Amino acid sequence: MANYIELTTENFESTVGEGVSLVDFWAPWCGPCRMLSPVIDELATDFEGKANICKVNTDEQQDLAVKFGVRSVPTILIMKNGEIVDQVIGAQPKQALADKISAQL
């Protein structure tokens, strides 16, 4: 089973700089974030070797949240080669997120 990648300011650019990445900005106190967590885990398995499935804890990585203008969690960015190509706010069904990733592959 694949695991998602925990992003920090140190590994963000090197991780999302190439290929397709889903980046989930979340917080431990956020109910919808907790509901989305198993979906992120499943996507990490489904897209292993094809796309980076990543999470950013906004409580611990406030600089990244500010850099990307994250005002509410969960905020999910779909990135391709380091550029934001899609964004959704709030918990989403697994298939909706999978479709957004697949569209960029």
Choose, from 5, 20, 23, 33, the residue flagged as catalytic: 33
User: Rounded to whole angstroms, how far apart are CA atoms 78 and 101?
Assistant: 7
Q: Which of 91, 14, 5, 96 has its CA nearest to residue 56?
A: 5
Question: Active-site residue 30, yes or no?
Answer: yes
Question: Active-site residue 54, yes or no?
Answer: no
Choose, from 22, 23, 30, 78, the residue flagged as catalytic: 30
Return the active site residues: 30, 33
